[in-house]
Amino acid sequence: MKRPIAHRALAGLAFALLALAGCKDRTGEAAAAASTPITPSLIPAPVDLQTSAGTFAIDGDTRLFAEGDAATRVAQQFSAYLQSAGAPALKTTREDGKGLIRFVLEAAGAEGTGPEAYTLDVTPDGITVKAHDERGLFYGAVTLWQLVTQGDKGRVTLPALHIEDAPRFTWRGFMLDPARHFQQVEDVKKVIDAMALHKLNTLHWHLTDDQGWRIEIKQYPKLTGIGGCRIPAGDGGKDPKTGEPRPYCGFYTQDQIRDVVKYAAERHITVVPEINVPGHATAAISAYPELGSIDTPLVPSNEWGVFPNLVNVEEPTITFLENVLGEVVQLFPGTYVHIGGDEAVKDQWEASAREQARMRQVGAKTEMDLQGYLVERLEKYLSTHGKRLIGWDEILEAKLPPEATVMSWRGIEGGLQAARQGHDVVMSPSNKTYLDYLQTASPNEPPGRPALITLQDVYGFEPVPAELEESQRHHILGIQANLWTEHTRTFARLQHNAFPRLAAVAETGWTPAAKKDLASFIARLPTQLKRYDAIGLGYAKTPFEPLIATEDNRKAGTAKVTLSNPLDYPVHYTTDGSEPTQTSPTFAAPLDVKLPATVRAAAFADGRALAPASTFELTPAAMLTRTDEAMGVCPDAGRLLLRLEDDGPLEGERAIFNATIFYPCWQWNQADLDGIASIKVRAGRIPYYFQLAHDEPNRNFEPAKSPLGELEILGGGCKGHTLATVALPAAPNADGFLDLEAALPAGTTGKQDLCVRFTGDTRPQMWVLDRITLQPR
């Protein structure tokens, strides 16, 4: 029912008065907070920070002073970044003096001072940021931005301090993969801004792969016209209204590339393009079949993994690649061009009479030598254009041109070998710096590879191996984190996967090894989260949420509850359903609770919850149910556990399942079967969209005993005895799920490892577990 206009006006006036009163209170609080000097909390930690007596207060009236174009640009960027964090943009003044923030570009630095070095001084008379290169001045501005954002909307009191700072490594990188899932230009720019505010300086852009070619090449328009589109697997590739195929497309025009490169350069980030050959080339061969090593027509793939498709190494193909690189080098002014070189299984070359003849022609004794010949040709071409070739560590398996740089991803061994051979190296090991791996064991993690790479794992990685000789250590250029996007369908998930782990990469890349300290980093992280919130960066909440583990005593109607946090922040909790606060009990020892119970918990630091409180409803029924995330995997079958997303609906949220694709099974360890009559299983079905190359023989499944296969439940683990078998239907229900119930044999009692598996080949579709419920008698 609508209210009369007069009433709405009075209500609006009352609201305005209340708002003004609230603003007055908040302003007073902000002023009080601003009068207390902050304790600097910076990421990455600077080389040296010394505080002294005195303070300097900053508010919206503080002025910026800069002379010269470069210093003025940095001052303007500083002001813009403050504004992006909710503070007023600070104005500039042409008159030097006291009470100012001064950006000073000096003619020359001390001997041995790098271009990214700076000093920052805060005194009662003002602030001065100095450097002898615009890059260093910019990083000094980033440090000052971090200090100011510790206040409230640009109001802060800083202690008098002196910072001398410079990065440890010259390569501090992040790899973005638009080939699997595409990021729009505006999202790429958001990534660049976030990188700049972490003092990262290299964006590795993975522009081509089996699933898509993402860069416009004017001489070869089919690369994007055909290679830029694929039909996603299952329902994700169908129009829900018509059932017709719906392609997934995307590429960057050359004008967009120039725009992104310019935007990055303004923030002192170099963009390194990757054109991957000879493998990961399905999209390119789909567009121009003459590039391939076999005559079978291809399409850009909707599957993930390692593919057999290689470009051939004949002269017309090398000319094609040189023409592509000829356009690429005009778009990217940086030193490096990445040519991939990874996961190029040689089956097609081994089976091709043409490639075998080509090997003899160029003097290649092995197929890897043939890849080495291709790398050598591309290196020579790039060098004539003033560029340096960089590739994944597989390029070391053949003779490598001396000028080539190696990106070590299969651990650090490739980096060690390369450095000892005199090659420059970027360390990027998959077990420490791959950000598509899950970061916590929380069921709230998005799809990805469940082998955990925690924030602690990332922070603990040391890019310079202890065993590397001192004389070769200068070859380690730095560190890079990679974010592959097979399972990262949205930009929100990309941000979740990247942050805050990229902050740990940034500190490793910048801060001297002797200055790194995990406890200090974790203590500084809550302040960094406030900055993320201020600029709208969608970081992962899961490292800051509580986890719960329960052990039920069914007979007593109780449960033992253990609460924890992945980063060991204190967890405060309630058991009466109320919101936990800083004054709520701190979890210290397992709790015995009477069922049903509601436990609410949150991790706290600096007096505030780091993520919204989690609510755990504990009931007798809930104790009898486990989701797939809470299930184990069969010990002999857990080689490749993935957290997979359903193929539909086309838009919006989809179901997520943990599954082992080499041998799909799930195990409830030590399930208490006393008093249990039957087991109910809720299952889904998703496309099997994986290419495993030489790992394909390791894919196993239990043969089906009937045309459509069975659900099998075993006691004693996946090699134990069969407790129940239920025939599977042809398809799940309309909602994509299926509920199956299996009666247990009479006399089934005690605790045992309960295994759930589905028989039959997993291709082209595989059944996956959603949850399992023990049903009492």
Q: What is the pLDDT of residues 287-341, one digit of tens each?
A: 999 999 999 999 999 999 999 999 999 999 999 999 999 999 999 999 999 999 9
Give backbone dihedrals phi and psi of 463, rounded to 5 degrees, phi first. -70, -25
Nearest Cα to Cα of residue 479 among 455, 448, 506, 516:
506
Sheet holding 558-564, edge to edge: 547-553, 558-564, 591-594
Please tell me the predicted confidence (pLDDT) of residue 110.
62
Among 59, 327, 343, 629, the one annotated catalytic: 343
Please tell me the predicted confidence (pLDDT) of residue 634.
84
- Predicted model pTM: 0.94
| E-state strands within 646-764 | 656-660, 665-672, 676-687, 690-692, 710-715, 721-727, 737-743, 751-758
- Could you tell me which residues come within 8 angstroms of residue 456 by beta carbon, excluding any fewer than 6 positions away? 518, 567
Any idea which of 13-17, 95-99, 134-138, 596-600 has the lowest mean pLDDT? 13-17
Match domain 171-542 to its CATH number in 3.40.50.12170, 3.40.50.80, 3.40.50.300, 3.20.20.80: 3.20.20.80
Interhelix angle 518-535/501-510, nearest 10 degrees: 120
Please tell me the predicted confidence (pLDDT) of residue 12.
36
The reply to whether 486 belongs to the active site is no
pLDDT in tens, 58-70: 999 999 999 999 9
| E-state strands within 171-269 | 171-176, 202-206, 208-209, 212-213, 229-230, 248-249
Q: Given pLDDT bands bounded at 50, 70 and 90, which one contains residue 347?
A: very high
The reply to whether 209 belongs to the active site is yes
Please tell me the predicted confidence (pLDDT) of residue 52.
97
Q: How far apart are CA 344 and CA 281, in angstroms?
A: 9
CB 53 within 8 A of CB 166: no
Rounded alpha-carbon distances, angstroms, from residue 532 to 78, 105, 190, 194, 304: 16, 29, 12, 9, 32
CB 283 within 8 A of CB 214: no
Q: What secondary structure letter does DSSP report for 255?
A: H
Q: How far apart are CA 544 and CA 446, in angstroms?
A: 15
Provide the residue ranges of all domains of the chain, joining segments of one domain with +: 34-165, 171-542, 545-620, 625-776
Q: Is the peptide bond between 596 and the residue preceding it cis, with omega within 30 degrees of 0?
A: yes
With vertex at residue 665, the alpha carbon angle to CA 660 and CA 666, rounded to the nearest 5 degrees, is 100
Q: Cα 309 to the chain's mean position, in Å?
A: 27
- Could you tell me which residues come within 8 angstroms of residue 1 by beta carbon, excluding any fewer than 6 positions away? none
Give backbone dihedrals phi and psi of 326, rounded to 5 degrees, phi first. -60, -35
Strands 597-605 and 608-609: antiparallel
Strands 202-206 and 270-274: parallel
Interhelix angle 367-384/315-331, nearest 10 degrees: 40
452 by Cβ neighbours in 10 Å (0-12 / 13-18 / 19+) ranks as middle
Give the architecture (CATH level 2) of 545-620.
Answer: Sandwich (2.60)
**Can you give 340-364 as a three-state secondary structure string?**
CCCCCCCHHHHHCHHHHHHHHHHCC
Which tokens belong to 573?
Answer: 């909790």
pLDDT in tens, 119-135: 999 999 999 999 999 99
Strands 737-743 and 676-687: antiparallel
Q: Given pLDDT bands bounded at 50, 70 and 90, which one contains residue 639?
A: low
Average pLDDT over every residue of 613-621: 96
Share of the chain above pLDDT 90, in %: 90
Among 132, 204, 268, 280, the one annotated catalytic: 280
SS3 173: strand
Please tell me the predicted confidence (pLDDT) of residue 637.
64
137 pLDDT above the threshold of 70: yes
pLDDT in tens, 278-297: 999 999 999 999 999 999 99
Give kind and range of the element (H or E) at residue 383: helix 367-384
575 pLDDT above the threshold of 70: yes
Which tokens belong to 251?
Answer: 């590429």
The reply to whether 423 belongs to the active site is no
Residues in the chain: 777
Nearest Cα to Cα of residue 406 among 466, 470, 477:
477
Q: Cα 46 to the chain's mean position, in Å?
A: 25
Give the architecture (CATH level 2) of 34-165.
Answer: 2-Layer Sandwich (3.30)
SS3 654: coil
Strands 229-230 and 656-660: unpaired
33 pLDDT above the threshold of 60: no
Q: Is the peptide bond between 278 and the residue preceding it cis, with omega within 30 degrees of 0?
A: yes
CB 426 within 8 A of CB 357: no
What's the CATH code, domain 625-776? 2.60.120.260
360 pLDDT above the threshold of 50: yes
391 pLDDT above the threshold of 70: yes
655 pLDDT above the threshold of 90: yes
Q: Taking the CA atoms of the chain, what radius of gyration do you get in angstroms? A: 29
Nearest Cα to Cα of residue 441 among 457, 430, 454:
454
Residue with the bigger pLDDT between 568 and 636: it is 568
Among 116, 134, 177, 209, the one annotated catalytic: 209
Q: What secondary structure letter does DSSP report for 179?
A: T
pLDDT in tens, 470-512: 999 999 999 999 999 999 999 999 999 999 999 999 999 999 9
What is the average pLDDT value for the chain, to the nearest integer?
93
Please tell me the predicted confidence (pLDDT) of residue 7.
33
